[in-house]
Structure 1
Amino acid sequence: MILNSIIDCIGNTPVIELKDDLIPKGKRLYLKLEYFNPNFSVKDRTAYGLVKAALDNGKLKEGGILIESTSGNLGKSLCMLGAALKFKVIIVVDPKISPSILNWYEAYGAHVDMVKEPAENGGFQQARINRVKELLEKYPNAYWPNQYDNPDNPYYHYNTTAKEIMKLPTSSVIGAISTGGHLCGVGKLVKEKSPNTKVIACDVKGSAVFDNFFKPYLINGVGLSWRGENTDISVIDKVSISNDQEAISMCNLLAKEHGVMVGGSGGLVVLTALAWLKNSDCDSAVAIIPDTGINYLDQIYNKAWRDEKGITLLNRTNIENIINKKVFSTPKEKILI
């Protein structure tokens, strides 16, 4: 098949079945590998949904300026689209970002603006948002996609990603929460078409999306220091919180024992999916894997980095014990705690 442009490579990502002793007998776990998008993450879908809507409604034009805050993956996707569709991109980042991703932005011709200090309330994520607002004053005609609150984000996943997932033989969908865009967009269609299918959100300890406090954490692509408007708790049945060590350990197990190298959010999702299969009557689940571990070879897959951050990898027995004891709550229960 010959496609018209790199944009046509977005979507229709593959699904594999994970075979592992951690999966209860008679149950099945499918991994939807979003790192088969051009920039190796689900954010290619999100970025294109946001950009397409802005081009359609005139908020963004060829030669215009787009400004966004991102922890990494969305920035790569927006930079690619800027190069392909001929608009300028300014990405606001923070020091947690991988140097290789910064090089990625520059390769696409984007301008990088880095905040140096976290906000007093809200950490680096809020500091980035504050900087975006400053830049919008400098460039009043620029477009801010605002992935956190823009309904074009979940709407695009509702119309695309969700339809792919609905074709799978599954009774549960598990995904990471950050902006809420991809999981809640998927969840909306799932609940409309198959109300008995469970939608499970996972988050990292330290995120304030479901808990009432924020504390810095290590893994990227999941969590926020607040809850964005795109997090629609009405389509989420259960929530589970895991810490950095658990997620990073799961990532390393998948790489070493299955040849599947995922980002920290992917480790979080697989750990949660295994726990859900173990602790519920669900017979099958699809785990949405947001991105690739290639982005984090110098971090979560690097022993020196892990040692510096105080992360010791859990072995298979440790992971199994955690899976057996994992707690699931309703979103409202988490928010009220």
Structure 2
Amino acid sequence: MIHTDITECIGNTPVVSLNDELVPLGKKLYLKLDYFNPNFSIKDRTALGLVKAAMAEGKIRPGSILIESTSGNLGKSLAMLGAVYGFKVIIVVDPKVSASLLKWYQAYGAEVDMVTTPAPEGGFQRARLNRVRQLLDKYPGAFWSNQYDNPSNPAYHAETTAREIADLPVDSIVGAVSTGGHLCGIGKYVKKHKPHLHVVACDVAGSAVFGQPFAPYLINGVGLSWRSANTDTSVLDAVSISSDQEAISVCRLLARDHGILMGGSGGLTVFTALAWLQHSDASSALAIIPDAGTNYLDQIYDDEWLTAKEIKLLGRGELEERLEHKAFTNLLKQETLT
């Protein structure tokens, strides 16, 4: 098939079976590798949904300015779409962003604006949003895509991503939550058309999305210092909170033993999916892998970086012990499930 432009290469990402001893005997774990999108991230889907809706509503046209806050991946995707559709993109980032991502934005012609001081409440995430509002004042008529609260984010995932996975032979879908866009969009579709499927959320320790106190954490693409409007807990059955150490250890294990190179949010999702299979009646689960480890070769795949951040990788035995004691919260009843 010959595509008209690069945007037509977004979506329809592959699913692979994870055949590993950590998967409970007699159960199946499948990985939806959304790093097969053009920019190696599920955020290509999110960006396309946000931009298509804005273009249809006349909020973006050639020559317009789009502004967004991002921890990394959405910036690449929006910058690419700016190049395709002819609008200027200003990406607001913070010091956690990888140096390679900054070059990626600039390669697509985007402008980078970095905050350097965290907000007193909400850290760098809140500081980025404060900067977005300043830029909107500076550029009247600019469009803020607002991945956090724009309903076009989950709506696009409900229309597209969910349809790719709803008929797979699984009884649970597991995904990471930051803005809530992709997982809650999928959840909305699933609860309407496949209500027997469980939708399980995972978050990182330090995130405040599910009511925990906010504290700094290392992995990107997951968590927030608040709960965004796009996180609809009514379509989520359960949630589990895991650590940077657990997520990164799974990432390193899958890269070394299976040749699957994923980002920290993917490691978090796989760890949660393994625990869910162990502690629930589910016989099979699909873990949504948001992005590729290529974004983090100088971070979670760098031993010196891990040493500097005081992260000790967990071995298989230690991961098995952590999985055995992992707990889930029933979001409807707020009960702890073990």
TM range, smaller chain = over 0.9
The residue aligned with 2:145 is 145
Aligned AA (1:231): T
Matches within 5 A, 1:19-168: 19-168=19-168
> 1:334: how far off?
6.1
Q: Secondary structure at the match of 1:329?
A: strand
Structure 1 unaligned blocks of 5 or more: none
Q: CA 1:289 to 1:252, structure 2 compared with 1: closer, same or farther past 3 Å?
A: same
CA distance in 2 between partners of 1:50 and 1:335 (Å): 35
CA distance in 1 between partners of 2:290 and 2:238 (Å): 19
8 Å contact 1:13–1:33 — kept in the other structure? Answer: yes
CA distance in 1 between partners of 2:235 and 2:51 (Å): 25
1:23-50 deviations in whole A, cap 9, x for unaligned? Answer: 1111111100000000000000000000
CA distance in 1 between partners of 2:263 and 2:209 (Å): 20
> 1:62: how far off?
1.1
Q: Secondary structure at the match of 2:185?
A: helix
The residue aligned with 1:269 is 269
The residue aligned with 1:16 is 16
8 Å contact 1:210–1:334 — kept in the other structure? Answer: no
Aligned AA (1:256): R
> 1:332: how far off?
5.6
8 Å contact 1:203–1:222 — kept in the other structure? Answer: yes
Q: Secondary structure at the match of 2:22?
A: coil
8 Å contact 2:239–2:331 — kept in the other structure? Answer: yes
> 1:167: how far off?
2.1
Q: Secondary structure at the match of 2:113?
A: strand
Aligned AA (1:51): V
> 1:330: how far off?
2.0
Q: Secondary structure at the match of 2:273?
A: helix
Q: Secondary structure at the match of 1:29?
A: strand
CA distance in 2 between partners of 1:275 and 1:254 (Å): 16
> 1:331: how far off?
2.8
The residue aligned with 2:301 is 301
CA distance in 2 between partners of 1:164 and 1:287 (Å): 13
Aligned pair count? Answer: 336
Structure 2 unaligned blocks of 5 or more: none
CA distance in 2 between partners of 1:243 and 1:273 (Å): 14
> 1:220: how far off?
0.1
> 1:196: how far off?
1.5
- The farther-off stretch of 264-273 and 211-220 is 211-220
RMSD value, Cα: 1.2
CA distance in 1 between partners of 2:25 and 2:330 (Å): 26
Q: TM-score, normalised by structure 2?
A: 0.98
Where in structure 1 do 4 or more consecutive aligned residues deviate above 4 Å? 332-336
CA distance in 1 between partners of 2:97 and 2:334 (Å): 29
What fraction of aligned residue pairs are identical, expressed as a percent? 65
8 Å contact 2:119–2:127 — kept in the other structure? Answer: yes
1:58-116 deviations in whole A, cap 9, x for unaligned? Answer: 01111100000000000000000000110000000000000000000000000000000
CA distance in 1 between partners of 2:215 and 2:150 (Å): 25
The residue aligned with 2:205 is 205
